[in-house]
Amino acid sequence: MQVVLFGLNHKAAAIDQLECFALKSEEVMASLQALHQHPQIDEIAILSTCNRTEFYAVGVGEVDLRPVFRAHLRALKGESPGEAWEQFYFKVGEEAKRHLFSVACGLDSVVVGENEIAGQVKGAYGTACRAGTAGILLHKLFHAAFRASKRAKNETEINKGCCSTAAAAVDLAEAFCGDLKGASVLVIGVGEIGSISARILAKRQAGEIVIANRTLEKAAALAAEVGGRAVSVYGLRDELARADAVVSATDSNHCLFEAGDMAAILKNREKGPLLIVDLAVPRDFDPGVGALPEVVLKNVYDLKEVVMGNLVKREQSVDTVERIIAEELQKFIDWRESLRINPVIQAVKTQVETIRREELARVRDRFDESAYFQVERLTRSLAKKYLQAIVLQLKHLQGENCLDAQNISLIEELFTYRGKAVGD
């Protein structure tokens, strides 16, 4: 079995291509269950964020799973432009594992070192666990990635400065407005990014924070937390007309505001320019909105401009983070390799213990209770020392890469007990 990755991210594709393959939570769950039924897939997890859609799977044998993933996405999303398929990457074995570690540590993000991605990776793993599609390999692999991410944050400065998509969006709003203390900022969506954006706005003492969401109760809860005002999405026309800046991050399947709608909304706007930071994928605002007078429209790809000033300190940490990734990846590889030798070690232990017990049973009637207890303890001690020597040597040979599949099979056969004690 081998770990494989099939995916698309912000580095490989344009935002409209990412939109074609973005998966909502219900689509992720349905995809996990459907793909897990495939005979060539033993385990699977799916990571879908505004910057990536990635399938992490444990394949049975060395079969190329790309056609399986493509067929599934075609059935789910329909046919996409031919060039979009060319942007997908396929990684196998160590390359796939290293990619997951890099993602979890924030090295593969638009905002290098961002905080949100670690939670998103944990969410993807949690969903796979709930769906019952994560097995022993993905359990171990994702936990190793979590450990690498934690070490990267604790041992380096990779997440110092502007370290999240939400923070970059607020930085953009602050630069645009000049002073957030006198600005009215509308946050649309109370998911992870929207909520973090609202909290950062509160910390920077934005003049007015307006929270909009389809579920008004959720908007009200976040508004109460940040000292803002909650509104229903059905009242957004008025709020858009009076806001200085907008941060939008909903999980809608379709565009919320077309260019024509926004032109009508802003027709009687009395304020100056409006900044819209659209962090959703698929996008909440039609790209044509950016062509309207007095509107500046930014998307997740535009955040790269914001974070350039904070990159120096974090880029100095990249080498250290990569070293951490290499260390944690090697631990995972060592654990995976240990699985090969475990059956052999168990076979040795079983044979020695079986022979010990049979030999004791054969001479049981020669000893009284006290003497038998001493003999039994002596044989157990001898067997333990004998086993320790063999197991240490087997692990040494494995560590030196001296045990291929044929050698392991031969050793296991040698130590498979056939029912005759030594000396019979």
CATH class of 2-161: alpha beta
The low-confidence residues of the chain, meaning pLDDT below 50, are 421-424
**Domain-wise residue ranges, the chain:** 2-161, 165-304, 340-414
Q: Is the pTM of this model over 0.75?
A: no
CA-nearest of 96, 89, 112 to 319 is 112
* Rounded Cα–Cα distance for residues 185 and 169 (Å): 11
- Distances 243 to 104, 235, 271, 274 between C-alpha atoms, Å: 35, 13, 8, 7
> So what's the pLDDT on residue 400?
62
- Fold match between 2-161 and 165-304? no
* Rounded Cα–Cα distance for residues 128 and 138 (Å): 9
> So what's the pLDDT on residue 260?
92
In CATH terms, the fold of domain 165-304 is Rossmann fold (3.40.50)
Rg for the chain, CA atoms, rounded: 29
Catalytic residues, by residue number, are 50
